[in-house]
Structure 1
């Protein structure tokens, strides 16, 4: 056997695998001998069928299979030994007049090679890392929400200002049909709110989505429409009233404080706000980090330049799925996936250059932290180490969970690396302002 490589350019190569009779004949003979031992052919005793008959009936199929095994094994070994970093899989070059009736064969494969490039994490950019704060307006709103949540619900016959209405927003043309509970104060203008005043259960109120709320993104929640459809949405929607309630707010007293935070842990409204602020800003950190990660990703895609073996990849895309694609379909698919591929290569380069690795202890520590948080949500504030370890062991015995956790751990390592190395500015914003920044408004 002889394997040679022709370097077409920095991103493309052709490997030729030359196979001789000595490379495959011993295995072909062995397989045919096994066929002969077990063949049941009328007129011959089992095991006594002439080899010439076996070769005539099975020879070509066995030859093709064994040559293919030798071919694949030798090609994979060559790629590994030569440390070739390839994209996709080797593509066999089709030879129309290939002759299987000879003893020696030569097969050619096209390779798409990973480009060489560098990633500069410290390059100048316009990335902003946000510190999201819970402002007084948000804290006051949350306190009111708590009072309402723990208050006394009182059914009503007619809608008055400040009442809650359970009902369905609908628009047949846009496929909107979403049940919500909404307060009259949720609308942007008093003009809209007045449309509901005095209405009864069963009444239908028609309103326009334009200017319905002070933030168009609230349409996503109340109408269940996609973000891309929210902006500029100007349609009429019907709201069918199904239930009307008002709430007598709970008193802000020690009984409520103890119910919320445990006996004696909070003794004032200021203490309640401080607890809310701590919890909210802890959650905001995750959202801020995710935007930072997204912004760094986008910046690296724009600043890290390298070529790809485009034509090779398009041909590979045609063959990789269950159903072969046309050249036009492959072109479309490549356009959709190119940025994803580029970032995979960038991420892989970052991981290798910075020796980011995940070991079992990383996974175990991460899983333990998640399990403890989940248990706390269900009131198990002080679980035993044994209980936690048993749950972690079960989680880590599931390969899909291990893969999911590994991705999360690596994402966290990448985030920490970016925080240490990427140049960025910090900006303190309220959550409302952060949402506007998040969606480019």
Structure 2
């Protein structure tokens, strides 16, 4: 009968030794031989009539090794299950020499494995977390800017011969140039449509009187001020915060000049924006816009609170890890990824060592979420995943879908997504994460703080930059 023993290697790092007797694997090996002889297809012999001695000679060694390893695996799994040992990943082989397995000389075998134990830990008290709940000030300026954006978006465009004022719309092509002023062959080339007022005053002055076909040369940091660079730089595939971005030079080729006539504030416009609503006047429209801006920033503030919750849980939860085991496991994974149909490039020992802190931090969050889910019975049902798929489709289609019951193709689409394992796993993870933070939000007591939108956006941007 097989025996299993366990001994300590290091912190949360254990060695499991299995001694397998002949009686533990021989019956299974002999059964495998008989089954193989029944289906073996060997020239010169009828199916099922191949002599057992020939089967053993031809296939015995591999069947013998398979049966011994299967028996070992069974004993290890049974031992871990019986003793309720909670481990990371799977046991890793230690000092095991498969060449000693001899089908001609069955005997007792010893196998050794290392395991990493999952730690016990306690979550910090969320009620004691010093969190800040930001209340973003919604100003009249923000409302008026959004109103103007909507009027421009739904306004009418008329062609103009030349640039005459700040409200002119310029269709332009950005062509990156070098220090010599020549266009870089593989440089950035991007079309855009911009209001003249988006340019810095000096460049705006230079644009006045320019026509389609004219070109001016600009330096990005001089042609646009900070606020405009926030959307210009990403559109060009650049990072605004990198010093080299502002020094880049471009030919700005004007391809078309137009004048945008703002949409008139009337009932037709109100109905187009909010069909079926009670928006009937300009004041109603402003109130609706203010409500939407408030909801947007409230959601951003909530995201920021959730981010604080995440960092509080990660930073204040004390968890020990079997680092030596996990490092060995990463090395094993690295070796396995170099095999198969899609091999991955090998990582050096230095690269694996450098990845350990990030890996442990991610593992820490996984353990924290597992504990929260288990202790609070947080579940995600198939119906919730179906609703999630439906809402995603609605958002993609602009929420203009009508009753789902009247459109069978929507039901078919959702049924198809529910059969996509990768999609279901992703949706499950997102919904579970959402529920974890919803639970956590009921436990915290953020201290309210008023802040303007620009300062809040800067705070979030600096935080994201710090954590990347």
Question: 1:246 matched to which residue of 2?
Answer: 259
CA–CA separation in structure 1 for the residues paired with 2:243 and 2:280: 43
Task: Please point out which of 155, 161, 170 is paired with 1:151.
Answer: 155
Matches within 5 A, 1:42-191: 47-95=48-96, 99-101=100-102, 102-122=106-126, 124-162=128-166, 163-171=168-176, 175-187=187-199, 189-191=200-202
Q: CA deviation at 1:134?
A: 3.6
CA–CA separation in structure 2 for the residues paired with 1:47 and 1:364: 51
Question: 1:14 matched to which residue of 2?
Answer: 15
**SS of residue paired to 1:217:** helix
Q: CA deviation at 1:361?
A: 4.7
Q: CA deviation at 1:66?
A: 1.2
Q: Residues 262 and 41 of structure 1: is their aligned pair in 2 closer, same or farther, counting only changes over 3 Å?
A: closer
Which structure 2 segments of 5+ residues have no match?
178-183, 339-345, 464-468
**SS of residue paired to 1:109:** strand
Question: 1:293 matched to which residue of 2?
Answer: 306
Q: Residues 142 and 355 of structure 1: is their aligned pair in 2 closer, same or farther, counting only changes over 3 Å?
A: same
Q: Report how many aligned residue pairs link the two structures.
A: 439
Q: Residues 325 and 4 of structure 1: is their aligned pair in 2 closer, same or farther, counting only changes over 3 Å?
A: farther
Question: 1:318 matched to which residue of 2?
Answer: 331
Check the 8 A contact 1:127/1:425 in 2, yes or no. yes
Task: Please point out which of 426, 439, 454 is paired with 1:432.
Answer: 454
User: Alpha-carbon deviations, 1:153-209, whole Å to 9, x = none?
Assistant: 01122223221112233436795333221112123x312322322222233333233
User: Alpha-carbon deviations, 1:240-298, whole Å to 9, x = none?
Assistant: 22222111122212222222223673221111111112223333333333332223212
Check the 8 A contact 1:10/1:115 in 2, yes or no. no
Which structure 1 segments of 5+ residues have no match?
none
Q: Residues 277 and 434 of structure 1: is their aligned pair in 2 closer, same or farther, counting only changes over 3 Å?
A: same
Question: 1:271 matched to which residue of 2?
Answer: 284
State yes or no: 1:200 paired with 2:211: yes
Check the 8 A contact 2:211/2:254 in 1, yes or no. yes
The alignment's TM-score, normalised by the length of structure 1, stands at 0.88
Question: 2:430 matched to which residue of 1?
Answer: 408
CA–CA separation in structure 1 for the residues paired with 2:165 and 2:325: 66
Check the 8 A contact 1:314/1:327 in 2, yes or no. no
RMSD, aligned CA: 3.0
Q: Residues 165 and 80 of structure 1: is their aligned pair in 2 closer, same or farther, counting only changes over 3 Å?
A: farther
Matches within 5 A, 1:224-243: 224-226=237-239, 229=242, 233-243=246-256
**SS of residue paired to 1:439:** helix
CA–CA separation in structure 1 for the residues paired with 2:432 and 2:41: 58
Question: 2:181 matched to which residue of 1?
Answer: none
CA–CA separation in structure 1 for the residues paired with 2:315 and 2:326: 21
CA–CA separation in structure 2 for the residues paired with 1:261 and 1:103: 82
Check the 8 A contact 2:13/2:324 in 1, yes or no. no
**SS of residue paired to 1:357:** coil
Check the 8 A contact 1:17/1:75 in 2, yes or no. yes
Matches within 5 A, 1:259-408: 259-262=272-275, 265-321=278-334, 322-323=337-338, 325-364=347-386, 366=388, 377-380=398-401, 384=405, 392-393=414-415, 395-408=417-430
Q: CA deviation at 1:42?
A: 6.1
Check the 8 A contact 1:258/1:265 in 2, yes or no. no
Check the 8 A contact 2:96/2:112 in 1, yes or no. no
Question: 1:255 matched to which residue of 2?
Answer: 268
Bigger Cα displacement from structure 2, 228-237 vs 429-438: 228-237
Q: CA deviation at 1:406?
A: 1.7
Bigger Cα displacement from structure 2, 57-66 vs 392-401: 392-401
**SS of residue paired to 1:160:** coil
Check the 8 A contact 2:152/2:263 in 1, yes or no. yes
User: Alpha-carbon deviations, 1:206-241, whole Å to 9, x = none?
Assistant: 323336233353344432324664797433233222
**SS of residue paired to 2:321:** coil
